[in-house]
Structure 1
Amino acid sequence: MQQRVLLAGLLCLLSACHFSAGARKDEKTGLTLMSHGLSCQNFLLERNGLPLTDKDIRYGERITLLLENLSGFTEKDGLVYPGMQLDVKDDKGVVVSSFTDMLADVSKSGVSPEQARGLRAAYQSGPPEVVPGRSYTLSVHIWDKQGKGTLDATLPMDLRFPDTTGLHTTPQGITAIRIFMISDSGRVQQGHVPAKGHVGINFQGLKGFVADSGKVFPGGSLAVYDSTGKALFNTGDAFASQTGGFTDTQVKEGLRITVNMNPHLKGIKTIWKFRVWDKKGQGSIETEVPVILD
């Protein structure tokens, strides 16, 4: 099933651009910071783990906001109590996804001012809340639970369609509306895939499964071959642990098959063959793509 990645935490960061109190906008990314009582000296935006320096954001990519040198929190017995909320709104201002009080566990007992100087929040777009080809706004709200200080970050997201260069799909009883590859360590572009982190494929809008007691039971695998056709590895059934099956809605929202890449494979030209099949019927769908590991 399609997974959204959401992170919230306290951390130490590397310096990036400078932001002081008040309102500032980064013209390259469109990020706007508005502070009232809280201040932030530095920020960093990442796209799939790499610095984001433009407005090119594609569906399924993970966007991370890192804030450094935050100050202005009210101390109580030497501790501060930060709060954080992340919202995604559509082009009409309607909230389609919301994560409230993301630091509830961290700040329940308070943290030192030094620990609260670095905060991060991340969001990975996915169904059913957002769809490619539409515009959204990512908003991060930080507040002082012991005072009145706030800091708001907003980022416009015109979610473009992912690159599908080289994907060849053969449906046999099972069909998908959209299929694309994704990586958490960089962008998959024209068959070039980062040789690190998690890499996989998303099948969205799947249909054609035989239902059993209101559930469907897909299998899924990835087989990788070198340029000579030699098998390098096979994941086996990626959904073997899902013995209770999926709802039809979950399958339509998306199934993902991922692997953890080995950096030693860098530079190798490979053929990846993804397959999803119906454990209760005869249908299947296969996608083959040539991959160069960068």
Structure 2
Amino acid sequence: MKLLTYIERDGNRLGIRTEQGVIAVAEAASKAGIAAPRTIHEAIEGGAEALSALKKVEDYVLTAGHDAAESLLLSESALSLAPCVTAPSKIICVGLNYRKHAEETNAKIPEYPILFNKFPNTLTAHGRDVALPRATNKVDYEAELVIVIGKKTKYVSREEALHHVFGYCCVNDLSARDLQLRTPQWMLGKVCDDFSPLGPYVVTADEVGDPNTLAISCTVNGEVRQSSNTSDMIFPCDEIVSYISQHFTLEPGDIILTGTPEGVVLGYPPEKQVYLQDGDIVTIEIEKLGSITNRMVNEPT
């Protein structure tokens, strides 16, 4: 199931993306008399029972007659989307987690996952403009797979780790390289406003299957810059979730950014490094998860 969050005047609404359109969950559930989640976090926290209710809503709409379903199906292109996970309590990132990316940046292959964090101010959605901060002129793209935690998770084994995952989505882990490399701690280059475009959907784990066999790419103005597969991860998704859970508790709705493959601007020779500019269109695409596109714009003075 593909879940998204769209914005109406009275706030965020939960939608189910189908081939026929986006199901307006609140309206459809009310019409069908089904007690279903009304937000993405209710869906995540509700687990299997919540997903079962959403499936009933989906079936109700898709099997209804044309006239009955028409008012409950929205055109995706007409919607204003929010980040697909709207309020994670933690945004955890794994650095240098693709072997070829570590090699292109002349970095040592890490012995343990390199962890850092981002904050909710970095979240934005598919279709939104991202302002290039005035404090930097070296903003880089990073296509990444995101793990969305579905259960309270502490001390979980690798064998059980993926059973604690609700689903997956795409993110562009935008990075200001000059700020990132100013000190050994990367945070400053990672936490500028809107530096984590997230979406467009959370795709449930059952629909994704193995998260470490997915094609992943980034294009800038239609030019392919990154093209890889999540199988190149040094620490695969089950190991990441298990490792983090040995140190602190993961809560439903927490998100983990799992690292980026080769092809980032930082990996080019210095004379060929051209960072993101005003007007650049960046698209991150991951197999089974869809794609998220954002335009870079100069920050207003």
Report the TM-score when normalising by structure 2.
0.29
| Larger relative contact order (Cα-Cα within 8 Å, sequence gap ≥ 6) | 2
Larger strand share, 1 or 2: 1
Larger helix share, 1 or 2: 2
Bigger Rg over Cα: 1
Report the TM-score when normalising by structure 1.
0.30
